[in-house]
Structure 1
């Protein structure tokens, strides 16, 4: 589908963001930039004469600029808002009434870009199959740079794009495209969709196919944690004792070094032991083996008796909240 591939390549708010730019969007932004520069010209003749810029029949640059300016004024009336899980005041906002010159021109151009992106998302919402990613609220956006694209194999890039937009040749899609008559899965005889193939087939689960994928991710995660434990900051003294000449008096001075350092979860201890629920890794400590729990990764400090448990789940994007709740309920008795 041509519209789906346009969304995949150019949408800046898609879950899989590519670094490509739309020629149509750049054309519109170029026209907007030209008109705004002429309107803000220092030449009084150019400034008073309204420029006539030729565009297509469906899109008018003057209307686009007026709509962008109205949206910017409306945003200033509404005030600063935050989206997703960002806290209030976590980002700075430029207001339309407090900017001049090039800043105003850049704000208008950026607003035109955002309106183009909104149109793409509206098209995605209208596609119940290829636009399922619009409902993946818990999934983080992945941005591929040109370096990432050049280093990836072409088949891997195609798989990434097709899996996000449900364009893989599953039996359900082949039936929809008129290439096949039977949409059932050859393993479990259920309806074979992209979600079914990647995470829902019971036979594939019993054969360990999903476990293999889970363990590969767990292996990488455990290796990163094992490397990070050696880079943690050791515990620093909270005070230093000074003795005067003769040893008669002492002063306690609290060090500011610890407060200036960036605190991490592994800071404060230098004897962390990492174990993972993998055959090639060490067993979990005795305090964990006594329970019925079986965490994926356990980070244990014998000196401070601290235990950090890590659970990993690799669900389909539409079931991330459900998988998170399931994992969290395992440890309700510990709270």
Structure 2
């Protein structure tokens, strides 16, 4: 295998040469304003990207001096040059090293990391090249005298792997890959002795009788998605900020597919646990997640549990999260206050409107209709518990300590909303209940019991209208299930 330290020593020594060359020139600035490095290297292969031909000649001269000092020599025959002027290839500019001319890319195409670079700077030829490689490989496998299952094994672990790398790096349309996949699937059906009408779902679908086969088109899409993440999350800041597009043309776009998958995962994380079936919210055990510690006695099975992050309750249900956690009382109070604040805004607007209306215009009159006559549509104001012209006042238990009106009664209880009129000696007290749906009746009864003393004080003072407990939508539906359509 050779010395394992030699590559490290060579890389360290060659890096000194590259640093000396970078001090002579500066890289090209791209459209985003980022300056690219002038030199890129992979072991002893060096790539330069400069703005002018003069900078390139100066860099080559400096590298030649440094390499002679390190007893290394540049081979012009294995080097290539490409000059682009105003967006078009220019073959009039040439470079030389030690008196020997460096060939142009037009004269000799180059293959680097499995990708062929030609003078037209396009991947159109790669489609036909990969198709030819696939056809020749399938033909050779078909002519072998091996059984069908062994031929498929050779296809999956030899030819398939050789095709994935150029499909990943080259800009090939997905429609062309579909044609390649169709051609390969025909041979797979032939080797397995299956009819030609058998769908691809039976070959590559994930079911009970799943075959150990991989689709060429699915592998192409997976490699393109990996390429998108490699470019976006690259550790090299130049690669990450370049935002190089991954082109797969119109039928399927890798970047859009990745963005859509990320949005779906974020939405799923926000939504969380969804209730399935006809059961109520919070019914059934909490979902098992990959967080928390192992259950006692089940370490071998690998079952995981989750605890409430506030009170450390094991496997908290939705009921516990919404109404049962003792450490989240401030959150419940915030939810209660938000509903109460909205009710107070509506009642305050109604109170101001009623106070501006005179009592004479709000009386409901009964219009009798004679026998045989038709009733006339007369616009009348709707009945309201707030009698107009009575100077209604209101207090809400929000943002500050609530004090019950002394002119009504002296009590330590604090209803959520109190509406009273001194002239009509009328009091309306409201209690807001936002309970869990299974415990709707119990909080409602508790609210009624807590306001009994207030009602007695009001009746002793000669007032009317007992306290009114307000209900949530769930409580109304539970009491009147026939209203649900």
Same fold, TM exceeding 0.5? no
* TM-score, reference length from structure 1: 0.40
Larger C-alpha radius of gyration, 1 or 2? Answer: 2
TM-score, normalization by structure 2? 0.29
Bigger relative contact order, structure 1 or 2 (CA pairs below 8 A, ≥6 apart): 1
